[in-house]
Amino acid sequence: MEMLVASAIGIMTAAAVYLILRRRTFAVVLGMTMLSYAINLFLFATGRLVRGAPPVLADGVATYTDPLPQALVLTAIVIGFGMTAVVVVMALGAFVEGGDDRIDLPPGDGDGRANAGDTGGAP
Amino acid sequence: MSPALIAVLPFLGALLPGLLVRSGRGVAAVACGVVTLTALVGLGLHAPAVIAGEVVASRLDWMPQIGLAADFRLDGLGLLFGLLILGIGLLVILYARFYLDAKDPAGRFFTFLMLFQGAMLGIVLSDNLLLLLVFWELTSLSSFLLIGYWRHLPEARQGARMALAVTGLGGLALIAGVLMLGHAAGADDLTGLLRARDAVQASPLYLPALVLILIGAFTKSAQFPFHFWLPRAMAAPTPVSAYLHSATMVKAGIFLLARLWPVLSGTPEWFWIVTTTGLVTMCLGAVVALFQDDLKGLLAYSTVSHLGLITMLLGFGTQGAVVAAMFHIVAHATFKASLFMAAGIVDHAAHTRSIRRLSGLGALMPLTFVISAVAALSMAGIPPLGGFISKELMLEQAAATAWLGGPRLLGWVAVAATMFSVAYSLRFVFHVFTGRVASGYPAPARDPGVGLWLAPAVLAMLTALVGAAPDRVASWLVGAAASGVTGTALHPHFSVWHGITPALVMSGIAVAGGVAALLAWPLLDRVRAALPDLDAKRWHDAMVLTATRWSWRVADGLTDGSMARALGAMVAAIVAAGIAAWGSGTAPAFDRPMLPVTGAAAAGWAMLVAATGAMVFFHRSRVLALVLVGIVGLMVSAAFVHLSAPDLALTQISVEVVTVIVLLLALNFLPKVTPVESGAARRALHGVVAVVAGGAFGALAYAIMRTGAAFPTIAGYMVENSYRLGGGDNVVNVILVDFRGYDTFGEITVLGIAGLAIFALARTLVEGPTGDRLRAMFGDRPRVGDRHPMPLVVVTRLLLPLVLVVATYIFLRGHNAPGGGFVAGLLVSIALVMQYMASGFAWAERRQRVPYHGLIGLGVLAAGITGIGAWFAGRPFLTSAYGYFKLPGLEEFELATAMGFDLGVFLCVVGAVMLMLDSLSRIARRAGETVNAGPMDILSGDPDRDPSGPA
């Protein structure tokens, strides 16, 4: 079982990294969603895998799985959604403003070399 | 008033100008003045105790793990500098109020000035070396802001940058040196450090620590060869020059030398480095000052020279030299600040600071003339002014010190420097104020109002008083400071007349030589013009340029505007760091037994892997990729169910739904396919990076799961106390709303902010030219005829109350069974979004009564109020209480205060998620989505005309 979870984490991460390295916003958003899955599963797995012992107290039950990673991951899932939504709206804005959905800077944009020689010489 | 409070007051004062400047800069200046005066009085109240030899201290632990403590102490040295900082600060505030133009943003100026004042006070009052470093860096930063105050002037920006580069680099060296010193002494507090002289000087770290600390002090105090930034800092407004670059900040380096004098001085290394640097700086500054054309330039190089003088005195390592140094700090601060202010007055009146163009101002501005003359003669060391006494003391000490093998050599070099000092001081007076009245002043030059001349007049009067009655006016302060530096009680006595001493003879020679030099000035200036111009600025520029080029090269290597390159480098760096960390440690054996694989798990894994693979393969077809992402998310939720995490499964699956909806809404506008843009080689490279990252991350996960925890986990505590302290059986929920409630509080706030950010982004998209472009891009594209199919509309409306009931149930049971505010909030959002999808944005919007921003605010408020409620029971924030209640007709039930917190979570989640989706739907409407009417809606009429339609 551990092998399955670890390989699933690895495969999802590999897919996510490949998608994040694409040049269009939507692929990057998909990659980030996949990366969130992988990381959430990883964080959850740091509590080690236990079956049939949910951290809900019941009479006569002595073993429970570690609840702390679950609490961390629960909020991480919700925040992850918020982040995805922000990125999506930013991608949308960039598409409408710029006319395409490339994520790279256009050549010459954001190039600060014009100031490189301005190191303090008298005007 | 405790020393800590005195140091903090200016920082509090820095808040006032921003708040008050709307009422006028006069009010802002008065507020700063009041704060400064309060601190000054607080300091003054300690003066009798400090003069009696006591050390006033206040202590507060800050980060005890690294030895950082907010410890402050006030001794004689601190008192001297504190009085200078606050006293001259008060005068500078007055002067600046009248100096600044009405167009200059006064609030910003006074805020920066108070920030600087606080930082400088922090340096002189801290008892902790690390704390001192923090304030040290703050003075560099606030000085940068003040030099660059007139940001429209290129020389102000360049001067500010140069000052920051030089003093900032020096600050870095100082950090290293101070850490070494603390290590050698085994103490981080000054009190302990000052007792560790023998340990420090015996340590092999002594020399490197000394050199690094001296670099820090010399850069700050503009010592050769780091002096070149100070003249360029003269682009600052004149009050700043008077305050930072003559009286206070540039003396921070001197302060540090004095502060560490008992620990570091007395060795040959100290003597040679400090004395020689001081002497060279003193001579160089004095010579260059004589040939400056700019009034402020003359004063700047003169400041460099005088700072060299003080440094040299501290280098001697004798108690007499320390007394002389302390006296000269007082004398220099008074006459130099006064001269700077006078230069500012001349600049205001004559609209130029060029000495060649100024002449005969004394007839037009008699008051300024008198003030300048007194201060400048003090600078020249003419009796009976303050500068004379310190110059005599200096010459006496210099004559008694052997240097480079010559018993008299140092004395004669000092006389030469003093000669130039006399010459430039007299030049300041005679070339500007006497002679023929120069023509061509743009406006008739007159003495200014009292606001401008009062401050320099007070300082000039002080320098005269110090000279007239040094024993009465200055000896207490100088004595206390010298005692603070040396650690032995010193009670020096000063007088103007000692009889004919060698020092007096040397002084007379210097004055005579200075007068001669001034008379021969035109000749000397021609000689100087024929000599090559030596300026360290060229080296500085070359260094900065080289550093900039290398930075560009490195930056271009990592990112040239291509995200893939930057992200790829980041991923590679993370993987490399992880592998390095793994290789440097030892992992326990993989002895944790594996769980058996069930058929269901294997099937789920296969589906997840297949969907992931298919998604990468088909990711160019975006809608298909989205469906596949949904499958992956579903399988992750299934894994959570399978592995004892029901809460996570519920959350994941509801988030999955809203995520897919958000992405679908966005796809409405984005292109539906991703074109192939990378070549095969690049894609293969990316594939390799991805596989390596995935393999490493998977291996790490495997390693963690197969080994036990390195420390006993806190899970046991959570499970044991969940019911006892939190009143809930669902431990995950109790952690969220109780044990780690603070985290959750922060998280729902972040979620709310994300919602608001999306709302703001969407607004910029639907309004203005972008909105028009949006409409032009999508306004006339073909649409499906049947946008809101009847069955979907009916089903979703029937489902709404059902989902709301389920959500209420999930919410209520959350404390004891899987569920809670997060899941319930997501469920309600899904139910509402279904209405938007089935019946159209406009229809749903019309029926929305509570604005979603309001829900976010209510949620944060509810959570906050629940937390604060614990205060009324005398408990810390967010302590929960619970009890059992019975209502007629119901079974006994439990109520916990945590439910109020969970309600806040619920409201915040609903508000944020709905605000996000609603913002997207606004974009859709702006893009031409019309309000649906007619048969597709249950209403027979147009809901636009019937806003009160059925809920």
Last residue of a domain, one of B530, B553, B576: B553
The pLDDT value recorded for residue B948 is 42
- B368 part of a folded domain: yes
The pLDDT value recorded for residue A117 is 42
Residue pair B542/B451 in contact (Cβ under 8 Å)? The answer is no
Between chain A and chain B, the number of residue pairs with CB atoms below 8 A apart is 346
Minimum mean pLDDT range among B405-419, B586-600, B732-746, B776-790: B776-790
Contact between chains at A97 and B773 (C-beta distance less than 8 A): yes
Name, in order, each residue with C-beta under 8 angstroms of B732's C-beta and a sequence gap of 6 or more: A55, A67, A70, A71, A74, B645, B647, B818
Whether residue B154 has pLDDT greater than 80: yes
Q: Does B761 touch chain A (CB under 8 A)?
A: yes
Chosen from A26, A61, A111, A118 to mutate, greatest number of chain B CBs within 10 A: A26
Chain B residues touching A88 at Cβ < 8 A: 662-663, 666
Q: Does B717 touch chain A (CB under 8 A)?
A: no
Whether residue B735 has pLDDT greater than 50: yes
The alpha-carbon gap from A71 to the nearest alpha carbon of chain B, in Å, equals: 5
- B348 part of a folded domain: yes
Whether residue B389 has pLDDT greater than 80: yes
Q: Does B713 touch chain A (CB under 8 A)?
A: yes
Last residue of a domain, one of B674, B696, B711: B674
Last residue of a domain, one of B494, B519, B553: B553
Contact between chains at A71 and B732 (C-beta distance less than 8 A): yes
Chosen from A19, A37, A46, A59 to mutate, greatest number of chain B CBs within 10 A: A37
Residue of B848 and B227 predicted with greater confidence: B227
Whether residue B280 has pLDDT greater than 80: yes
Contact between chains at B694 and A13 (C-beta distance less than 8 A): yes
Q: At what angle do helices B475-486 and B252-259 cross, to 10 degrees?
A: 60
Chain B residues touching A119 at Cβ < 8 A: 158, 161, 541, 544-545, 548
Minimum mean pLDDT range among A43-47, B22-26, B305-309: B22-26
CA dist B227 and B163 (Å) reads 10
B747 and B867 part of one domain: yes
Contact between chains at B822 and A78 (C-beta distance less than 8 A): yes
- B427 part of a folded domain: yes
Whether residue B673 has pLDDT greater than 70: yes
Mean pLDDT of B603-614: 94
Mean pLDDT of B651-660: 92
Over pLDDT 70: what percentage of chain A? 86
The alpha-carbon gap from A28 to the nearest alpha carbon of chain B, in Å, equals: 10
Q: Does A19 touch chain B (CB under 8 A)?
A: yes
Residue pair B826/B909 in contact (Cβ under 8 Å)? The answer is yes
Cα angle, residue B267 at apex, residues B261 and B268 outer, rounded to 5°:
130
Mean pLDDT of B611-636: 92
B501 and B650 part of one domain: no
CA dist B771 and A96 (Å) reads 9
> B491 is in which domain, residue-wise?
281-553
pLDDT band at B322 (very low <50, low <70, confident <90, very high): very high
Whether residue B935 has pLDDT greater than 50: no
Minimum mean pLDDT range among B218-227, B535-544, B872-881: B872-881
Structural domains in chain B (count): 3
Name, in order, each residue with C-beta under 8 angstroms of B714's C-beta and a sequence gap of 6 or more: A68
- B568 part of a folded domain: no
The alpha-carbon gap from B759 to the nearest alpha carbon of chain A, in Å, equals: 9
pLDDT band at B943 (very low <50, low <70, confident <90, very high): very low
Q: How far is CA B773 from CA B524, B601, B760, B762, B777, in A?
A: 71, 50, 18, 14, 6
Whether residue B731 has pLDDT greater than 80: yes
Contact between chains at A93 and B596 (C-beta distance less than 8 A): no
Chain B residues touching A105 at Cβ < 8 A: 561-562
The alpha-carbon gap from B303 to the nearest alpha carbon of chain A, in Å, equals: 22
Over pLDDT 70: what percentage of chain B? 96
Q: Nearest CA to B106 among B18, B238, B209?
A: B18
Q: Which of B686, B732, B758 sits opposite A67 (nearest CB)?
A: B732
The alpha-carbon gap from B580 to the nearest alpha carbon of chain A, in Å, equals: 19
The pLDDT value recorded for residue B784 is 60
Cis peptide bond N-terminal to B789, omega within 30: no
Q: Nearest CA to B259 among B208, B328, B189, B309?
A: B189
Residue of B944 and B609 predicted with greater confidence: B609
Contact between chains at A45 and B642 (C-beta distance less than 8 A): no
Q: Report the mean per-residue pLDDT for chain B.
A: 87
The pLDDT value recorded for residue B930 is 62
pLDDT band at B333 (very low <50, low <70, confident <90, very high): very high
B350 and B496 part of one domain: yes
B534 and B604 part of one domain: no
The pLDDT value recorded for residue A118 is 44
The pLDDT value recorded for residue B417 is 92
Residue pointed to by tokens 């799961």: B705
The pLDDT value recorded for residue A18 is 94
- B197 part of a folded domain: no
The pLDDT value recorded for residue B866 is 86
Minimum mean pLDDT range among B230-239, B271-280, B365-374, B521-530: B521-530
Q: Nearest CA to B240 among B131, B337, B333?
A: B337
Chain A residues touching B592 at Cβ < 8 A: 2, 48
Q: Report the mean per-residue pLDDT for chain A.
A: 84
B647 and B749 part of one domain: no
The alpha-carbon gap from A24 to the nearest alpha carbon of chain B, in Å, equals: 7
B631 and B545 part of one domain: no
Pair of tokens at residue B865: 């109020």
Radius of gyration for the alpha carbons in chain B, expressed in angstroms and rounded: 37
- B54 part of a folded domain: no
Mean pLDDT of B382-405: 86
B601 and B740 part of one domain: no
Residue of B357 and B893 predicted with greater confidence: B357
Chosen from B595, B626, B828 to mutate, greatest number of chain A CBs within 10 A: B595
Whether residue A121 has pLDDT greater than 60: no
- B733 part of a folded domain: yes
The alpha-carbon gap from B132 to the nearest alpha carbon of chain A, in Å, equals: 30
Q: Which of A10, A33, A66 sits opposite B698 (nearest CB)?
A: A10
Q: Does A36 touch chain B (CB under 8 A)?
A: no
Contact between chains at A85 and B754 (C-beta distance less than 8 A): yes
Q: Which of B549, B609, B666 sits opposite A92 (nearest CB)?
A: B666
The one-letter amino acid code at B34 reads V
Nearest CA in chain B to A22: B564
pLDDT band at B696 (very low <50, low <70, confident <90, very high): very high
Domains of chain A, with CATH numbers?
2-50+66-100 (1.10.287)
Contact between chains at A107 and B561 (C-beta distance less than 8 A): yes
The pLDDT value recorded for residue B524 is 87
- Give B468-511 pLDDT, tens digit per residue: 888 888 888 999 999 989 888 888 888 877 778 888 888 899 99
Whether residue B445 has pLDDT greater than 80: no
B803 and B864 part of one domain: yes
The alpha-carbon gap from B196 to the nearest alpha carbon of chain A, in Å, equals: 43
The pLDDT value recorded for residue B539 is 81
pLDDT band at B932 (very low <50, low <70, confident <90, very high): low
Nearest CA in chain A to B627: A30
Contact between chains at B713 and A66 (C-beta distance less than 8 A): yes
The pLDDT value recorded for residue B782 is 64
B655 and B796 part of one domain: no
Contact between chains at A14 and B691 (C-beta distance less than 8 A): yes
B667 and B754 part of one domain: no
Residue of B942 and B197 predicted with greater confidence: B197
B622 and B759 part of one domain: no
The pLDDT value recorded for residue B446 is 81
Q: Which of B563, B686, B764 sits opposite A103 (nearest CB)?
A: B563
pLDDT band at B434 (very low <50, low <70, confident <90, very high): confident
Contact between chains at A64 and B731 (C-beta distance less than 8 A): yes
Chain A residues touching B743 at Cβ < 8 A: 75
Q: Does A45 touch chain B (CB under 8 A)?
A: yes
B754 and B828 part of one domain: yes
CA dist B676 and A22 (Å) reads 9
Chain B residues touching A92 at Cβ < 8 A: 666, 669-670, 765, 920, 923
Contact between chains at B613 and A11 (C-beta distance less than 8 A): yes
CA dist B424 and B352 (Å) reads 19
Chosen from A39, A51, A59, A70 to mutate, greatest number of chain B CBs within 10 A: A70
Contact between chains at B666 and A89 (C-beta distance less than 8 A): yes
pLDDT band at B944 (very low <50, low <70, confident <90, very high): very low
Cβ density class A50-67: b for 16+ within 10 Å, e for less: beeebbbbeeeeeebbbb
Contact between chains at B659 and A84 (C-beta distance less than 8 A): yes
Residue pointed to by tokens 């000397």: B524
CA dist B243 and B88 (Å) reads 7
Q: Which of A45, A56, A96 sits opposite B704 (nearest CB)?
A: A45
Nearest CA in chain B to A43: B701
The pLDDT value recorded for residue B940 is 45
Q: How far is CA B856 from CA B746, B878, B919, in A?
A: 13, 19, 15
The pLDDT value recorded for residue B937 is 47
Whether residue B890 has pLDDT greater than 80: no
Mean pLDDT of B74-101: 92
- B921 part of a folded domain: yes
Mean pLDDT of A65-82: 91
Contact between chains at A41 and B639 (C-beta distance less than 8 A): yes
Q: State whether ipTM is beyond 0.85.
A: yes
- Give A4-46 pLDDT, tens digit per residue: 999 999 999 999 999 999 988 899 999 999 999 999 999 999 9
CA dist B511 and B524 (Å) reads 17
Contact between chains at A95 and B670 (C-beta distance less than 8 A): yes
